Amino acid sequence: MSPQTSSTGFFTLLGVNEQTMSFDWHAGPITRTTPLDKHYRNTQKVRQFLLSECGEAFRFDRTFMAWIKSGTPSTMGEVADEWLRMHR
């Protein structure tokens, strides 16, 4: 059985949508090394990650969300680091 047709849900466990092979921003495990892709979404899971990295003061704002979507950051660690830099 190929990984794409496996009934084990292996890709689901990794947070990867088996249909599109893109990261599931609603359910996937987010770490500092999680790469941003063209399907990135500001989800509750992303907010939880950024709260853990940046502290309770973390908030999304339009400027920050636009920066994320600009393609400048390539990992969630870079996203967290930029928020901390912007709010010092």
Please report the pLDDT score of residue 8 as a whole number: 47
Burial 16-35 (b: 16+ CB within 10 A, else e): bbeeeeebbbeebebeeebe
User: What's the CA gap between 17 and 12, in Å, rounded?
Assistant: 6
Split at pLDDT 50, 70, 90, the class of 6 is very low
Cα-Cα-Cα-Cα torsion 39, 55, 65, 67, nearest 10 degrees, comes to -100
Whether 45 contacts 28, CB under 8 Å: yes
User: What's the CA gap between 46 and 19, in Å, rounded?
Assistant: 22
Split at pLDDT 50, 70, 90, the class of 22 is confident
Task: Please write the tens of the pLDDT for every residue from 24-45.
Answer: 999 999 999 999 998 999 999 9
